[in-house]
Amino acid sequence: MDKFAEICKKIKNMEIRGAEEVAKAAVRALMIKSGENSVKKLVSLRPTEPCLVNAVNFVKSDPKRLGPVALNHFTEADKKIAEYGAKTIEDGMIVFTHCHSTNVMGILKEAKRQGKKFELHNTETRPLLQGRITAKEMASIGIKVKHYVDSAARFALKKADLFFFGADAVTTEGKVINKIGTEMFAEIADKYDIPAYCCTDSWKYDPKTVFGFMEPIESRGAKEVWDKPPKNVEIVNLAFERVDPKLITAIISELGVYSPDLFLDGVKTTYPFLR
């Protein structure tokens, strides 16, 4: 199998997952094999990931030259998000998170590097258990983790001081699309006055939503949930959900810490290709 096909396979089978990692892998794949067919193939792998689409659109005219620019964007943005986000964490805090997000991980690592003492509470994130990736990664750098089943999230959140989550997409109305369960947890955070921060690279913004395009929600295979369900049982396996901007305290991006509407203004001014 050639290197391009290998990257495609890894995105498809979720070996490479999480919006930013998928986008970076797609950029690397285009640097190996450019052209319209490669672009179509890459976008078809996770069609509901605007970061992948934006990154591919940014580099497609000249992947060899623009690929490194895109990859550098992500590296620099990751550093800034980690730096801004770490400022919200104070000694003795409990941070809650769901699923696995590169940008949330970056913030927690930076806070730990600065010597802040805090605990992480997280959910396992059924059905693919990305919460275990989060728990392993954080425990390995010495952060104390309490790991909960998804349905115990209310219990975990009640004790938390902050809720951090990533984003797969941000729409023009300031809605954030992230792993299924995120809005439910944001509602709970709101009820207990716990600040809920979306931590994301601004290339997750989907410019198509300006024209009334409804960001689709990825519906994944039934077998991920139940291998052989009985007859008359239909499995609903939605991967993501939309989070109402009213429930989002701020979006922490490389542009700074902004309310969802100011974030959108910033994205459009800073990145004209996303208008």
Q: Enumerate binding residues for ligand RUB (CB under 6 A).
A: 17-21, 99, 101-103, 130, 166-168, 178-179, 239
Of 168, 198, 199, 201, which one is the catalytic site residue? 168
Q: Which helix (H) or strand (E) holds 121?
A: strand 119-123
**DSSP secondary structure code for residue 94 in this structure:** E
Task: Tell me the residue number closest to ligand RUB, measured at CB.
Answer: 166
CB of 35 to ligand RUB, least distance (A): 26
Contacts of 261 (CB under 8 A, 6+ apart): 174, 245
Of 8, 51, 78, 99, which one is the catalytic site residue? 99
| Cβ–Cβ under 8 Å, residues 212 and 143 | no
Rounded to a whole number of angstroms, the CA Rg of the chain reads 18
| Cβ–Cβ under 8 Å, residues 271 and 262 | no
Catalytic residue at 99? yes
CB of 41 to ligand RUB, least distance (A): 18
CB of 100 to ligand RUB, least distance (A): 6
Nearer to ligand RUB by Cβ, of 172 and 200: the residue is 200
CB of 261 to ligand RUB, least distance (A): 21
- The strand order across the sheet containing 169-170 reads 169-170, 176-179, 240-243
Sign of the CA dihedral running 14, 19, 24, 26: positive
- Size (the chain), residues: 275
Nearer to ligand RUB by Cβ, of 34 and 175: the residue is 175
Nearer to ligand RUB by Cβ, of 59 and 239: the residue is 239
Nearer to ligand RUB by Cβ, of 167 and 186: the residue is 167
Q: Which residues are catalytic?
A: 99, 168
